[in-house]
Structure 1
Amino acid sequence: MVLPAYAFRRQAKLLKTDEFSSVFNFRKRVSGQYLVLHYRHNELAYARLGLVVGRKTARRAVDRNYIKRVMRELFRVNQHQLPGLDLVARPHRMFGRQQFAEIEQEFTELVAKLQRKLASRQEQPEC
């Protein structure tokens, strides 16, 4: 039995502006109460994550950094469930340590919703 690798490597990150733009221009997303996941197929065998946390969402840098840390951790734990996708996670409401369990549940539900959406529509990779 082989366990999935749970590391968050550099290759699993969206780093360039063009990568973010292509995900946003694809205009596919799933959303919840706190989070929006924009997605697009990629040609790779693994999922990649990009984070966008604006100053409107969280005024203080400490809060923005906490949100990014939480999102990276949730992706790291769930990345083995995702096919070759580029994801951009964007919170549209601020959350703190008190809402961690709620955010964790919402992220899991959004991943499940995304999988159902991909399976039902049989979306073809578009570039």
Structure 2
Amino acid sequence: MNDAPCYRFPRGMRLLKTDDFSSVFSLRCSRGDAWFQVLSAPNGLPHARLGVVVGKKVDRRAVGRNAIKRLVRETFRTHPEGLVGLDIVVRARRPIAPGERAQARAALLVLLNRSGKCRT
């Protein structure tokens, strides 16, 4: 009846525990560019899970850090293809100016697609 895609980001699709993040950091396949570093590891689940790391060194203001997190989550939710069965941690490397959001989103999509190929 409703053929619209589901863009929710439920709790089961998030990396929440320190152990989950640690396993991705230790068993990782890493890709990076000027804005982001994307680390991935297989999780054995029928869906992908996402964790986002934005430190205070990237942007001192919480508003900027939260904007980066929203951009990453939105990109992950709207482009889930090719990421099934992966735990993904996205680490921000630098602040994103409002005029650079489209470029940063495109760069993140490229990194996510490349990390989908890391399944060893």
Q: Normalising by structure 1, what TM-score?
A: 0.85
Give the superposition deviation at 1:9: 1.1
Contact 1:29/1:39 (8 A) holds in 2: yes
1:65 aligned residue: 66
Deviations 1:56-109 (A, max 9, x none): 111111111111111111111112331210000001111122111101110111
Give the superposition deviation at 1:4: 4.5
SS at match of 1:99: helix
Contact 1:53/1:90 (8 A) holds in 2: yes
- In structure 2, runs of 5+ residues without a counterpart are none
2:107 aligned residue: 106
Which structure dedicates a bigger proportion of its chain to helix? 1
Deviations 1:41-66 (A, max 9, x none): 00101000001100011111111111
Q: Report the AA paired with residue 5 of structure 1.
A: C
Aligned length: 118
Distance in 1 (alpha carbons) for counterparts of 2:59 and 2:24: 23
Distance in 1 (alpha carbons) for counterparts of 2:49 and 2:57: 25
Q: Report the AA paired with residue 67 of structure 1.
A: I
Identity of aligned residues (%): 41
